[in-house]
Structure 1
């Protein structure tokens, strides 16, 4: 049962469009795209179109930043043993690598640890403090992409004379851990202007502040002061993979990071690019999201995320390439497991169609890989457009991954189900949880009631948001060059989606069994037909002679050293 769709055409005020176009010296279509993304001020528009590291905010605007850098500086001066405690996803792995490289360069006595997803679960935990950190004589713990909920673990560390600095970006609970410093732009009284940083973004601003603090103390005299632009490749990887909005500070960091990734200064990334198959000459967010990030993530999903840190921190190609091949192999295994779980879920829903009459999907399976169910939940969300919770049951425990639609805050929804949960945490769109297996039916029932109570019927209609209706004669190289100023694309800055009416198919052919290559013309337009590709469009056979309307992206098609304009069809009626 496919979700209902509704085309929604943006209609920005024409006077505002003309004014912004004149002020910025840009095409009116580009001005429309900016306004559609909430950018109306000329200065903000120019900053958006020309992202620069020189425009990032002071890291000291983040609450507790001064406390954090002073404590780390003391650890450096007194040669205290420092532990970086990370998370097993791309965001956590890249943030861990970034901090590890910086502190190692500063000659710190530093080590790192990323918990086992299956044995230990997410976040800093009391057992690790007592069984490992105490014995290792750790004096300072810095968390990455975790820790905001680790009240008990931080208390245990404090009891054993260990200080903790929490760096995290997840939603803050009512009770915060008793840490020396908490760096989280979402916490109350934090004046940092970008609350939607990824975990690696928080880590980046920590080292940015620490570098300056150490500079002011004369620390770098006789040492090489790190160039932090070079670590923006890690920031881009983690930020894009964590699906945070590519706006404000994130846009600057991702744009800079993509340039660094394309240049290829990190042996581990170069090795990963080599095993990932053909990539664009200039990497974009798609290459991260669908090529690089899944391979980095695979380690933490199926085995040990340490392998991903070792890859990213590898000093040379000979060290990096075996690690890259391992991650590539692990990713193939992940794809097979993902397909098996998805097939099982689809068979169940096919045999039990009543579940699709609900506003949520909550399903549990024995032995489902808890590192993969989040991906499957995302696929189900895309298929059925409603909140999804998948739960893996095994060894007397249950762990779940939740994904949600824009109209329903999944984190707030889980708060209303807290009586049935042991733990939960996350964001508006994605969350993790754990509970007793016997509580799953009650949780599923309560969650459905919460979804119904906090949503409306229109929340379950997938909106196809059209940036602008265009005529084919408006589509040209000049417009493409204007659109080329909009990337990097992602959450908060989607790739522009255009629409055209009364389009006929001049000719078409099947490519790769599933895709349709076409040449399109528009009634009343005298320009020659435009080449187009419709991925997975072969399922619509037989194709009509013409479409009432189509929605499409405009992209360059690079083939055999030729660059041609091409429409990429997303919807057609």
Structure 2
């Protein structure tokens, strides 16, 4: 992964009148906020007036029809979805419509039996049983052609409120309220389903302040872009959530050991959303509406306990599916060189695929689609920044209405016989978006010495919150650290890690490494990237650093004799002839080469057998700065001749086969005795790469 340093900012005094610190002003400018008015709206939702609900196409006509339906006591059927966005949308509409005097019922599809959308056979039964005059969808419906056509044939009007991608042919709904019908820069363009439902309640004249907690919960859980009114709704909603009277939310927070008063968007993402999602993924999400709307504390506690047990099961199943994917990748490592990871297992639980795909997409920095079932296959896709996964799937010529989603996630169905064709077509579609050439990168916002990290700095940065899609938390980085202490298997689930790092001045800091228990610990000198948080622990506000990434660091300059002569022959037209000339003129010179070059060049030695010499001929490029540093300290040359020939850079599968071959040779010829350093020299790799390779081979049963 390439780390990108912050670009220099042109002089801009537009924010000076706000009295912000220079650092905070710079962070706003880097986010494209370059006026005092825009900064005020970004930092304080009181300065961000809401856009009119009637800016959404069809909103005015749909609201008028709903008012008539409510006044005439006609029945309304709210049709939701089973994820958190769908659950909160349904709860918000049921609560607001009931408060306005509507006769309302609701239905949330069962994920296992119905999947997303409006299944005609299920709808037909509900039309017979409940006799609605109007169907109101939320977080679904934009692609429900068959279901809507059925309702219309039975004389039932349909209002669709949704936020998913619009198909080429719109469904035959009477009114279709979807922010994707707006220009991309509109304040309402990034609303998720619950945001659209909130604006509908607003258009109906409902009291909406008490609904803000549901809006914030659904928007954060659905990873909506925190721009325009979406950001303002989350800001205002978090304030309501922190004082929520809803027994269901309070019961969930108590089981998660999170205090409502200090709840942030992170608490939603890691505590509330997974529990609600577990209900929809492993069971029936219908009770979520009761949990979110009930005023009965006893009932709320019972429902919350059910969610707690399902969430534990979800975590266990997620680990199983993720481990299964990793096992398949170890068996076929060449799959890692494809533009996307596409895998199938008939027994993977459908409700877990999206979570596992998300973990794997983050790990491998490429789109992941996991399928389960026999025929048809049902799949869940997750993507990475820069790859619109729904558009990529659309380019694969699937049957109409067999997929749906948005830029970062999608669901789809596929005939089993088409899996390989689909994998190839998807790869081409991602390559067309630039995915195959995309190098993962990490944007660093500021480099800091450890001595400048403080609780005050964390509080200053949290003025930019809430963080999420479209507004990531600032990433700081520090160079040249060493590991002082490694506390593995940290936390209740033993999945996490805590490391303590130090700089050359002896300043230390601890970092939390979420999900890092199975990762390789940093070695030697390294750089770290992290986010800062002013969190609450047992009633005390404390500073927390969360590790984002680490990389081997550029070593501090070597203290060498001033007479050291460096001769750079990396651009020599015939490096082999140049090497022969040097070996003839300086027969005492030490030739350093690694990988296959170590065997083919006469007189060459690798890093394991270096010794003191006046002249060092460096044939292959060292894999990292630490390896070069150690070599120079060992040889202590007065003259260095650099040829810098790049060793072969194998694909992941080739590297693992090469490493396996080296290890098998050791087992046969050296009584199984070797070292990371020896294997690294033989493969022309870093010791960290060898450590990872050994763990991979061991986990795959090849060692």
Q: TM-score, structure 1 length as denominator?
A: 0.89
Establish whether residue 508 from structure 1 lines up as the match of residue 508 from structure 2.
no
1:328 aligns with 2:299: no
- Shift of residue 339, structure 1, vs aligned partner: 1.9
- How far apart in 2 are the matches of 1:522 and 1:553? 22
- What is the correspondence of 1:269-348 to structure 2 with a 5 Å cutoff? 269-279=249-259, 281-348=261-328
| Structure 2 residue 387 is matched with structure 1 residue 408 | yes
Task: Describe the superposition over 1:166-186 as per-residue Cα deviations: whole angstroms up to 9, x where unpaired.
Answer: 000001111112222111010
1:488 aligns with 2:488: no
**Counterpart for residue 216 of structure 1:** none
**Post-superposition CA distance 1:479-522 (Å, at most 9, x none):** 333212111111111111112234456x5352655523426346
Question: For residues 189 and 495 of structure 1, do their structure 2 counterparts lie closer, same or farther at Cα, with a shift above 3 Å needed?
Answer: closer
Distance 1:102 1:25, change over 3 A: same
Indicate the residue corresponding to 2:207 in structure 1.
227
Q: Pick from 61, 65, 86: which aligns with 1:67?
A: 61
Q: Please identify, of 88-97 and 384-393, the stretch whose mean Cα deviation from structure 2 is larger.
A: 384-393
Match for residue 15 of structure 1 among 2, 7, 11: 11
- Inter-CA distance 79–269: structure 2 relative to 1 (3 Å threshold): same
Distance in 2 between residues matched to 1:63 and 1:129, nearest whole Å: 26
Q: Secondary structure at the match of 1:38?
A: coil
Bigger CA drift: 313-322 or 536-545? 536-545
Is 1:107 matched up with 2:107? no
Please give the residue correspondences for 1:455-534 in structure 2 after superposition, counting only pairs within 5 Å: 455-459=434-438, 461-472=439-450, 474-503=452-481, 507-508=484-485, 510=487, 512-513=489-490, 515-518=497-500, 520-521=502-503, 529-534=507-512
1:390 aligned onto 2:384:
no
- CA 1:21 to 1:546, structure 2 compared with 1: closer, same or farther past 3 Å? farther
The aligned residue for residue 449 of structure 1 is 428
Aligned mates of 2:184, 2:103 — CA distance in 1: 30
Q: Deviations over 1:352-384 (max 9, x none)?
A: 112112121111111321111111111111221
Considering Cα pairs closer than 8 Å and 6+ residues apart, tell me whether 1 or 2 has the greater RCO: 1
Give the aligned partner of residue 172 of structure 1. Answer: 166
8 Å contact kept, 1:67–1:180:
no
Secondary structure class of the residue paired with 2:411: strand
Partners of 1:409 and 1:373 lie apart in 2 by 19
Q: Secondary structure at the match of 2:351?
A: coil
**RMSD between superposed Cα atoms in Å:** 2.3
Task: Tell me the residue number matched to 2:545.
Answer: 567
Aligned partners of 1:499, 1:76: CA distance in 2, in Å?
Answer: 56
| Equivalent pair of 1:62/1:191 in contact (CA under 8 Å) | no
Q: 1:54 to 1:400 in 2, by over 3 A?
A: same
Q: 5 Å matches for 1:48-127?
A: 48-52=42-46, 55-127=49-121
Tell me, yes or no, if structure 1 residue 357 matches structure 2 residue 337: yes
Distance 1:539 1:308, change over 3 A: closer
Partner secondary structure for residue 366 of structure 1: coil
Task: Give, in whole Å, the separation in 1 of the partners of 2:323 and 2:74.
Answer: 51
Contact 2:43 2:464 in 1 (8 A): yes
Distance 1:451 1:144 in 2: 30
SS of match in other structure, 2:34: coil
- Structure showing greater Rg: 2
Query: How much does 1:66 deviate?
Result: 0.7
Structure 1 runs not aligned, ≥5 long: 212-225
| 1:321-351 CA-partner distances (Å, limit 9, x unpaired) | 1000011111111222222222222111111
Decide whether the 8 Å contact of 1:271 with 1:324 is kept in 2: yes
Report deviation, 1:554: 2.1
Q: Which of 427, 443, 460 is 2:406 aligned to?
A: 427
Q: Which residue of 2 aligns with 1:257?
A: 237
Whether the aligned pair in 2 keeps the contact of 1:554 and 1:568 (CA below 8 Å) is yes
Give the match's secondary structure for 2:210: helix
- Aligned in 2, Cα 1:463/1:66: closer, same or farther, shift over 3 Å? same
Secondary structure of the corresponding residue to residue 180 of structure 2: coil
TM-superposition CA deviations, 1:127-175 (whole Å, max 9, x none):
2332221442110000000001112221211111100000000011111
Q: Conserved in 1, the CA contact under 8 Å of 2:53 and 2:199?
A: yes
Instruction: State the distance in 2 between where 1:476 and 1:229 align.
Output: 36
Residues 91 and 345 (structure 1 numbering): CA distance in 2 closer, same or farther, change over 3 Å? same
**Corresponding residue number in structure 1 for 2:530:** 552
Moved more, 332-341 or 514-523: 514-523
- Partner Cα distance (1:446, 1:479) in 2: 48
Matched-pair contact (CA < 8 Å) for 1:377–1:402: yes
Aligned to 1:215: none
Q: Please report the TM-score for the alignment, with normalisation by the length of structure 2.
A: 0.74
2: CA distance between counterparts of 1:22 and 1:313?
45
Report if aligned partners of 1:552, 1:568 keep a CA contact under 8 Å in 2.
Answer: yes
Inter-partner Cα distance in structure 1 for 2:240 and 2:47: 13
Q: CA deviation at 1:472?
A: 4.4
**1:202 is matched with which residue?**
196
Q: Counterpart of 2:130 in 1: which secondary structure?
A: coil
C-alpha distance in 2 between matches for 1:23 and 1:154: 54
Tell me which of 129, 136, 140 is aligned to 1:146.
140
Which residue pairs with 1:181 in the alignment? 175
Which residue is 2:602 aligned to?
A: none
- Looking at structure 2, the residues matched to 107 and 422 of structure 1 have their Cα atoms a distance apart, in angstroms, of 36
Q: Distance in 2 between matches of 1:423 and 1:466?
A: 40
- Where 1:431 maps in the other structure, the secondary structure is strand
Q: Is the 8 A contact 1:551 1:570 kept in 2?
A: yes
Match of 1:219 in 2: none
* Residues 474, 21 of structure 1: alpha-carbon distance in 2 compared, 3 angstrom cutoff: farther
Structure 1 residues 337 and 244: CA distance shift in structure 2, 3 A: same
Pair 1:555–1:316, CA change in 2 (3 A): same
Partners of 2:185 and 2:462 lie apart in 1 by 33
Distance 1:189 1:517, change over 3 A: closer
Secondary structure of the structure 2 residue equivalent to 1:237? helix
